[in-house]
Structure 1
Amino acid sequence: MTAIPSWEQFRQHVPEVLASGQNLSLHALKAKTLDKANLNDLQRAQLLSSSQLIAENRIAWAASYLSRVDALDRPQKGQYKIASKGHDLLTQHPNGISEKDLRPLAKVDDKWRAKGKITETLSLDISPVADAYDSAVDTNLDPTEQTEHGIEQIIRRVSTEPIRRLQGKDPDFFERVVMDLLIAIGYGGVHGKGAATQHTKDKGVDRIIDQDALGLRKVYIQAKRYKDFNSAGRPEVQKFAGALREKADGGFFITTSSFTTDATDYARVAPERVILIGGPQLLAQLVIKYGVSVKNEETIHTVDLDEDYFA
């Protein structure tokens, strides 16, 4: 399948769609630009992690930055029209309008403006600052994608730490983390509490937690703090399933390591409802998603212009 055009490629398509001089709403501009790019339904439906449509998001950013340098006019609320600078850009850059091509056209008070000498042909003597910017940022990604990519990189870096730390702690600590995670997910009843079983009599059960607000239904928990190379096998899962029989409505078997194929196959067909949560990546994703053993370092708010304010 052909890749979705980059933000840079859409910066070419958008003024081409408007080249006839018509006024288009952003909605109509997106639709015509998608058609011009020959995107199929699957490509049009691809989403960012924030659930925004990738192609439409790139088109909106392309239109925004072209407007920022007065290559597009906004004759009325929500409307776009090509300006003389837009025609010039199409003439001077028929093979694509890059960010380097746009930055010299930014307004004097715009921090995005490149520091360099602008000639009559819109060429640019790029300064070291501009070069550093261009080498550090993938300008094929629009600003929303750059933000999400940066956040994903941070999460990927942080996600390796919780499991490594948990593997170095004692079993009781890991059980408490598991309880904190399940309570954060929504288990634990009204008061968000769970009970530990006696280790000498637990028969494969480490903790018990309420499944509903009134505590009528119980869930059993087995937590195994294993090293990466030590997978949980069928005998352990089978023993845990046996402990559930006629006592609980289901159970979670959670490990810092992974499960053998025999263990996952057994859990799939066992009469008792056993949910296996294993693998460093899955467990790390859960503790990060629900804020267990991690803290919010910074909250980022993104904004967009309120067109209704200027109506």
Structure 2
Amino acid sequence: MAIPDYQKLMLPLLKFFEDESEHHIREANEVLADDFQLTEEERAQLLPSGKQRIFNNRVNWANTYLKKAGLLESKRRGYSNITERGQDILKQNPQMITRNFLMQFESFTEFQQPSSSRQEAKNERNRSSTLGNDNQSQTPYELMDQTNQILKDDLAEQLLKTIKECSPEFFEGLVVQLLVKMGYGGSLKDAGQAVGKSGDGGIDGIIKEDQLGLDVIYLQAKRWEAVIGRPEIQKFAGALQGRRAKKGVFITTSSFTSEAKEYVNFIDNNIILLNGQELSHLMIDYNLGVSTKETIKIKEIDSDYFMED
């Protein structure tokens, strides 16, 4: 089954603490994952940032929201237990606990609208109900990661468009600089000398795999609009064999046909295909041709600071 959103987790999580004992949130993660019959793949699925498991993140946010509403409390880091208010809610036998359900508690409305008056919070609750915000299924971290991915994809699209408008010479330099930033080619000067111009709007040449030059990679780059098919990759593989090279990278500003992708899986040479979208995302990852517009810092408790000798 699909990974439940944090709102679907709130009632099961509250019931988990029904025994009035203190439990670590990791214990709740395991129990709820079993209750929802999640597969190992679903349990291991990560947020787009790759820094946290989606399911654990949603359980953590369900836990946070229940604590802000006063249904759970935490007396030490990582542990929670049910409150009297939480027991009273369970006695009401609710079908589901949602964000909108928690808006009845003043502590939660203040958490959601810290700068608003109680009346403004009530108005916000009514607006949220009208707009259907109760169906929100993503945690703040998920929303932040999703927004970041949207911005990254849009930037990658702009980058690719800009690359296609550049001169062949600039494109050659761009590819060399990217490979150097990725750790190939030794110094930028060595990498530039290792690559020879082909005159076809791309570059063809040899670049060091490491700074010592213990191995080399044959490189071909095509600044094309047309999709790259199997014949072009076969020519590239033939060029590798002619140079007794085992490794190659084929870079294009366009894309590859399925036949081209399948072909590289059945040959002895190790050929990596890099399309325009992947190229632009690598430029973002390695800070080439982009600059940082804004940095958002997310802070948490420094547990080491509070450790007493």
Q: TM-score, normalised by structure 1?
A: 0.81
Please tell me the residue identity of whatever aligns with 2:206: I
1:173 aligns with 2:139: no
Q: Are the aligned partners of 2:25 and 2:60 in contact in 1 as well (CA < 8 Å)?
A: yes
Q: 2:250 aligns with which of 234, 249, 253?
A: 253
Distance in 2 (alpha carbons) for counterparts of 1:103 and 1:60: 19
* Structure 1 partner of 2:145: 148
Q: Are the aligned partners of 1:115 and 1:130 in contact in 2 as well (CA < 8 Å)?
A: no
Distance in 2 (alpha carbons) for counterparts of 1:186 and 1:25: 43
* Structure 1 partner of 2:219: 221
1:291 aligns with 2:292: no
Please tell me the residue identity of whatever aligns with 2:98: S
SS across alignment from 1:127: helix
CA 1:111 to 1:54, structure 2 compared with 1: closer, same or farther past 3 Å? closer
Please tell me the residue identity of whatever aligns with 1:80: S
Distance in 2 (alpha carbons) for counterparts of 1:295 and 1:43: 35
Distance in 1 (alpha carbons) for counterparts of 2:158 and 2:74: 49
Please tell me the residue identity of whatever aligns with 1:81: N
* Structure 2 partner of 1:121: none
Deviations 1:169-220, CA, capped at 9 Å, x for gaps: 22111111111221121101255631232547x9x96343211212243323
- The number of residue pairs the alignment matches comes to 300
Written as runs of structure 1 = structure 2, the 5 A alignment for 1:94-243 is 94-107=94-107, 110=111, 112-113=113-114, 115-117=117-119, 125-127=122-124, 131=128, 139-190=136-187, 193-194=190-191, 195=193, 196-199=195-198, 206-227=204-225, 230-243=226-239
Q: TM-score, normalised by structure 2?
A: 0.81
* Structure 1 partner of 2:89: 89
* Structure 2 partner of 1:53: 53
* Structure 2 partner of 1:14: 13
CA 1:29 to 1:310, structure 2 compared with 1: closer, same or farther past 3 Å? farther
CA 1:253 to 1:22, structure 2 compared with 1: closer, same or farther past 3 Å? same
Deviations 1:136-178, CA, capped at 9 Å, x for gaps: 8973111221111111111122121111111122211111111
Distance in 2 (alpha carbons) for counterparts of 1:217 and 1:68: 58
* Structure 1 partner of 2:68: 68
Q: Are the aligned partners of 1:106 and 1:112 in contact in 2 as well (CA < 8 Å)?
A: no
Q: Aligned-pair RMSD on alpha carbons?
A: 3.3
Deviations 1:45-64, CA, capped at 9 Å, x for gaps: 22223242221221111112
Structure 2 residues not aligned, in runs of 5+: none
Paired-residue identity, % = 31
Q: Which stretch has the larger CA shift, 218-227 or 230-239?
A: 230-239
Q: Please state how far the C-alpha of 1:103 moved relative to its aligned partner.
A: 3.9
Distance in 1 (alpha carbons) for counterparts of 2:165 and 2:177: 18
